[in-house]
Structure 1
Amino acid sequence: MSQIKLMSRAGRVVSGATAELGETLAVQSQARHTPIRTMCCSNEKTLTMETLNPKIIKLQYAVRGPLVDRAAVIKKELEKGAKKPFKTVINANLGDAHAMQQIPITFIRQVIACAVYPDLIKTADFPDDVKERAQSILKACAGQKSVGAYTSSYGMDMIRNHVAEYIECRDGHPAKWENVVLCAGASSGIKHCLELFCNKVDGKDTGVLIPIPQYPLYSATLAEYGLGQVGYYLDENNGWVLDVAELERAMCDASDKYAVRALVAINPGNPTGQVLKRENIEKIIKFAKENSLMIFADEVYQDNVYAKGSKFYSFKKVMTEMGAPYNTVELASFMSISKGYMGECGLRGGWMELCNLDPDVQANLYKAISAMLCPSTIGQIVVDCIARTPAPGDPSYEQFECEKSNTLDSLAKRAKMIVETFNKMEGFKCNVVQGAMYAFPRIQLPKRAVEEAKKAGVPADGFYAKRLLEDTGICIIPGSGFGQSPGTYHFRTTILPQPKLLKEMLVIFQAFHQKFTKEYA
């Protein structure tokens, strides 16, 4: 063997057989990789629709789908002077309160301002309790006591403690702050928990029971994670009540294909606006216990309850008061700063409380969450403000309570207005909006319109919603994006437009529907 000397990457000189082996490996490596480079053209993409993750292709998210994209294009066209049969686009598709001109809560914004720019604590004419709150938050921050620093992956311990106190006050039962995780909106927490189920059991993929109609976050995430969607229909004829017999039907139908391991309940409902009665919640918890299911309690609208006789009960409260063996059901409940009276969608904050999880499972969940570093500090500040609102006697108390009650009272009036108007329209049936921020009316569409939609290859309610947008500028979401009983048509609209705009929207809506019905009669 020739004594060829080579310099290794580490700078060592190697010789003899080692060098010869190195040459051989280099030649083999070159031969192995050359065909790949030869086959690939310089303009060929690494990612194509053929090589893209098929789960991403399957994913659909109706509330930000093609209709919303089209609404954005129309809005830009109007800004450039395009002539349309309307002057503005009304985005009734999203539960975005501030986009619909809801006024922010002063206390929340003042605390944020002082925390972000601490000089205001000394110079601004803000109430003392605002400044004290901002100072306490800054003391809990790292480094130079700045909200620009990372926090714990699960949120500031101080704020987690305050959330636990809020839950205790709400439910009348203890809550451990270690089981509270702050997150970038409820959606983040929901996705983290659903990810825990990405595993086969007894050779079957995991299935998750979700309500139909449902909030598309669930169907989209299940598709993204490769989990099975097991839909159970809410009973529209009985105010969208959750019927345990329907849960049993859905579970039985899915059992051959999926190992059903979790159940989602949205209360108050989105898009359906119902508020579950306590007895209904008890039946759901019993069903979960009997079938070894973890409950996902989506309770982000817990402040949004309007109808007389309706009352919000948390799953945690009911489960605890049911006692053994039901108080051992695995439960994750979710809350958000985006809804309620706050409507701070863009600041991205929320929390989840975990109950009865296996300690090792919870530790692994926390490990996965830590990979995301931490939720937005600004969102955490808002969480603190709603978990620990101004108390009687505090300088900010009266203004805070006034703004909160005015917002919720106005939403209650708009909920009533929208239901009454739709129920006066021919072919419409709309259940009472007991809570949340949406109406989900059922609509009878002319046979010819259904046939035209079929020819166009789109759902009939999507065909209707597209015409509504193009003719009036009103953007709604067709019921097919949320799921609905076969042969029925619905759409979701928010109740968030301010009263004057909502009245205007409903008048336009009535005129459009009359015209549409006549056209396709």
Structure 2
Amino acid sequence: MMGRKALDYEELNENVKKVQYAVRGELYLRASELQKEGKRIIFTNVGNPHALGQKPLTFPRQVVALCQAPFLLDDPNVGLIFPADAIARAKHYLSLAPGGLGAYSDSRGIPGVRKEVAEFIQRRDGYPSDPELIYLTDGASKGVMQMLNAIIRNERDGILVPVPQYPLYSAAISLFGGSLVPYYLEEEANWGLDLVSTRQSVAEARSKGITVRAMVIINPGNPTGQCLSEANIRELLNFCYQEKLVLLADEVYQQNVYQDERPFISARKVMFDMGPPVSREVQLISFHTVSKGYWGECGQRGGYFEMTNIPPKTVDEIYKVASIALSPNVPGQIFMGLMVNPPKPGDISYLKYSAESKSILESLRRRAQIMTDGFNSCRNVVCNFTEGAMYSFPQIRLPQRAMDVAKSAGKEPDVYYCLKLLEATGISTVPGSGFGQKEGVFHLRTTILPAEEDMPAIMSSFKKFNDSFMDQYQDHSRL
């Protein structure tokens, strides 16, 4: 008999086997099976707006359609189908990409688009940005992985990650062979940051021989939906300065903000507002994407990261590694250019663009409210208001009997609850254990993306399920 081969499961890279990604884990696989059997499934497990019926914005699609099919620009009727500003913008991007969309671009992304990103950052923060330090990527996830790969040297290198966290971070840290160092967000303080417990996490990691090298913040939060206050961001920048940590600022939900009194403020702006030494010393990488906000163009894979206070030699190394992949996809780069430089007042397409984006954002705001109120009206369920992003993260207070039954079935209690919810209602969520949570506390994450008109029915079927679940497993010995 032949011995084992390199791609037999037992022989695989152990880091690959360690990777877990709950957003497409057991629940998602079961939901896909049920869908094949003909059950109607509402996939609220992934922040995938267009898959749940959000309409694409018209202007960017018009521009990219013309870039993909430049021969349309020569058609005498082009002006009857496309507005003049979309035609002008398509010509602008085609002039920046001489080989068109089918040719590789610079490995860092098209220089002209990086310039548009730098101008957007300057308008947002009030401080200039250098296009040479902005790299376009296939979605923000690729950029996050690129930077973690550069930071993690071995299993003794630790990355501070907020818990609950988006599992991209735990998965990528496992893949690159590093150590995840959790710091817990405070649910009672609307998922705010508590630096006392963060310092404890660092001290504990160091006592185990781990060198903590970077800190991740997700603002607005995923899965927790909070916006960090300016005071919180100042605290964590000071902390990164004192501890010599790279700050990885995942700011992909910056368009998704639903409370005027809690706006999005970028880590970069707060850092420059603080002035030296923090503004000169803290190494900061900021990430953004076209996948979220009112664009929701997940499938286009457009993103960027910007490097601040990173030494030139390190930037050269990051460029070298980016070059291995040759080029980020070009249509995604154009979507990014359009997102950071949308139609302006006075442009032909402005009113339509403005009405479309406003309508999506207002609807998301209403859906966030319907969902929060719906969860809070349920027995043994408490939920913070979604200030930002596109998720609700209710805490489910599970009866002891449900926990025991889950344990005997070999499941985490929240996984058991979410599987029962899926079977009963077709609602596919992600258990809180997939994001990390405090011991003995259980949550689920759902997006706020289902169509607004479907939302009351979804919440009512959730409530009905939750009532019957609680009735079934209530600890009768206490009655």
Question: TM-score normalised to the size of structure 1?
Answer: 0.88
Aligned counterpart, 1:418? 371
Aligned counterpart, 2:112? 158
1:141 aligns with 2:92: no
Q: Is the 8 A contact 2:381 2:397 kept in 1?
A: yes
Q: Percent identity?
A: 43
Q: Aligned equivalents of 1:235 and 1:520: distance in 2?
A: 28
- SS of match in other structure, 1:175: coil
- SS of match in other structure, 2:59: helix
Aligned counterpart, 2:187? 236
1:50-83, Cα deviation, whole Å (9 max, x unpaired): 21111111100000112111111111110xxxxx
Q: Aligned equivalents of 1:139 and 1:290: distance in 2?
A: 46
Alignment of 1:275-314 (within 5 A): 275-314=227-266
Alignment of 1:343-492 (within 5 A): 343-492=296-445
Q: Counterpart of 1:74 in structure 2: which amino acid?
A: L
- SS of match in other structure, 1:253: helix
Aligned counterpart, 1:199? 153
Most deviating of 65-74 and 234-243:
65-74
Q: Counterpart of 2:352 in structure 1: which amino acid?
A: Q
1:62 aligns with 2:22: yes
1:176 aligns with 2:130: yes
1:218 aligns with 2:180: no
Write out the 4+ residue segments of structure 1 that deviate beyond 4 Å after TM superposition.
Answer: none
Q: Give 1:409 deviation, angstroms.
A: 0.5
1:398-425, Cα deviation, whole Å (9 max, x unpaired): 1000101100000000001100110011
Aligned counterpart, 1:339? 292
Q: Counterpart of 2:392 in structure 1: which amino acid?
A: A
Aligned counterpart, 2:86? 130
Give 1 or 2 for the bigger CA radius of gyration: 1
Q: How many residues matched?
A: 468
1:314-351, Cα deviation, whole Å (9 max, x unpaired): 01101011000000210000000000110000010011
Among 88, 105, 118, the alignment partner of 2:70 is: 118
Aligned counterpart, 2:449? 496
Q: Counterpart of 1:421 in structure 2: which amino acid?
A: G
Q: Aligned equivalents of 2:160 and 2:6: distance in 1?
A: 36
Most deviating of 471-480 and 46-55:
46-55
Among 65, 71, 89, the alignment partner of 2:31 is: 71
Q: Aligned equivalents of 1:289 and 1:225: distance in 2?
A: 25
Alignment of 1:256-271 (within 5 A): 256=207, 257-271=209-223
Q: Considering only aligned residues, what root-mean-square deviation do their CA atoms show, in Å?
A: 1.1
Q: Is the 8 A contact 1:142 1:151 kept in 2?
A: no
Q: Give 1:223 deviation, angstroms.
A: 0.5
Aligned counterpart, 2:477? none
Q: Aligned equivalents of 2:266 and 2:6: distance in 1?
A: 48
Q: Aligned equivalents of 1:509 and 1:120: distance in 2?
A: 49
* Unmatched tracts of structure 1, length 5 or more: 1-38, 79-86
Q: Counterpart of 1:171 in structure 2: which amino acid?
A: D
1:40 aligns with 2:2: yes
Q: Counterpart of 1:62 in structure 2: which amino acid?
A: A
Q: Counterpart of 1:140 in structure 2: which amino acid?
A: L
- SS of match in other structure, 1:251: helix
Q: Is the 8 A contact 1:270 1:438 kept in 2?
A: yes
1:114-156, Cα deviation, whole Å (9 max, x unpaired): 000113324332111101111111111133xx21111111110
- SS of match in other structure, 1:229: strand
Aligned counterpart, 1:31? none
Q: Is the 8 A contact 2:5 2:11 kept in 1?
A: no
1:368-406, Cα deviation, whole Å (9 max, x unpaired): 011011111111111011111111111111100010110
Q: Aligned equivalents of 1:422 and 1:275: distance in 2?
A: 20
Q: Is the 8 A contact 1:142 1:150 kept in 2?
A: no
Question: TM-score normalised to the size of structure 2?
Answer: 0.96
Q: Give 1:247 deviation, angstroms.
A: 1.3
Q: Aligned equivalents of 2:204 and 2:190: distance in 1?
A: 24
Q: Aligned equivalents of 2:42 and 2:287: distance in 1?
A: 29
